[in-house]
Amino acid sequence: MTSVLRSVVTGVGSYLPDRVVTNADLSKVVDTSDQWIRERTGIQERRKAAPDQAASDLAVAAATRALAAAGRTPADVDLIVVATTTPDLTFPATAAIVQRKLGCPVGVAFDVQAVCSGFVYALSVADGFVGRGRSKCALVIGAETMTRLMDWTDRGTCVLFGDGAGAVVLEPRVGEGSTADRGLLGFALRADGAKQDLLYVDGGVSSNGQIGHLRMQGNQVFRHAVVNISEAIHAAADDAGIAVDSVDWFIPHQANQRILEGVARRVGIDEAKVISTVAQHANTSAASIPLALDAGVRDGRVKPGQLLLLEAMGGGLTWGACVLRL
């Protein structure tokens, strides 16, 4: 065994806006029904940020809870990575806005844009700092106001998404280089830009100057999701040196209950090990994994020392998986 620096999750937190939007509420906006949404997606309700709440506000609330859980204060934070596809402004990065609002000292702050895979990508990027001793206390945040990207006449997308944020604190700890170490143990990140048309937003600064709306060929994304995610899960498990069925908890991106179950079945993970929050949160893009992780930690299921498998897929297409010991 050789001693290695590991990026260890020392605190988890999340935040959901107060306003609940039920399937029944949406059936007054578009031609849909509670039954269709529940049967096809598992979603029962989602949260919607107040008009004066930006992604950074959700991020600050989640980060404050994560810092408290870690026993840290904003003064300790030297790195902030925000995964978001719905930034407050074109620039500065939402991470820099979070830094200002939290009152963190001068450090490193930037955003990662990998849509729904953003949190897994951001963990990997932050590991490059923390795991090399270049950050002593990092905040990795997924924060989204996806409802702002909806076309409220498109029933195929507007019922699927919600707003929220989740955050983790990462700190370096010396491990012995085995899979018993706490910390981020393995990753597999993927992107296939050739599949852009399956899921994208039809607006942007340098194209048409619009914010745009989310466009998705849902059933095609669904097909890609199960196959591609399964490959990335096996690759991340290989990278970590663990067997997929040895994980204690599977904490997937929360897009659709049928995808969660399909992936778990395909990679041989017991259904009882799947943390699912899609019914209450819907798809909160980069925020969905840390929101689900925090739900599991706060209700006592997910405990320190346990082996976790995270995975996500989203626009790009991007996808990826991460193995960590909490």
CA distances from 35 to 24, 169, 266, 294 (A): 9, 39, 26, 28
Secondary structure (3-state) at 251: strand
255 part of the interface to ligand UT7, by CB under 6 A: yes
Q: Which is nearer to ligand UT7, 93 or 289 (CB)?
A: 289
Q: H or E stretch including 232?
A: helix 218-240
Provide the 3-class DSSP secondary structure of residue 81.
strand
Q: Is 283 a catalytic residue?
A: yes
Contact 164, 58 (CB under 8 A): yes
197, 150, 264, 38 alpha-carbon torsion, rounded to 10° = -130
Closest to ligand UT7 by CB, 159 or 321: 159
Contact region with ligand UT7 (CB under 6 A), list: 162-170, 239-247, 252-260, 270-278: 252-260
Identified binder of ligand UT7 from the candidate list 29, 218, 238, 273, rule CB under 6 A? 218
Instruction: Compute the distance between CA of residue 324 and CA of residue 322 in angstroms, rounded to an integer.
Output: 7
Residue 219 in the binding site for ligand UT7 (CB under 6 A): yes
Nearest to ligand UT7 by Cβ — which residue? Answer: 218
Which range, of 5-13, 87-95, 255-263, 289-297, touches ligand UT7 by CB under 6 A? Answer: 255-263
With binding defined as CB under 6 A, does residue 6 bind ligand UT7?
A: no
Which of 81, 198 has the CB closer to ligand UT7?
198
Contact stretch for ligand UT7 (CB under 6 A) within 30-38, 80-88, 183-191, 294-302: 30-38
- DSSP assignment of 282-308 equals -B-GGGHHHHHHHHHHHTTSS-TT-EE
Instruction: State the residues that interact with ligand UT7 by CB under 6 A.
Output: 32, 36-37, 40-41, 116, 155-156, 159, 218-219, 221-222, 225, 255-256, 259, 283, 313-314
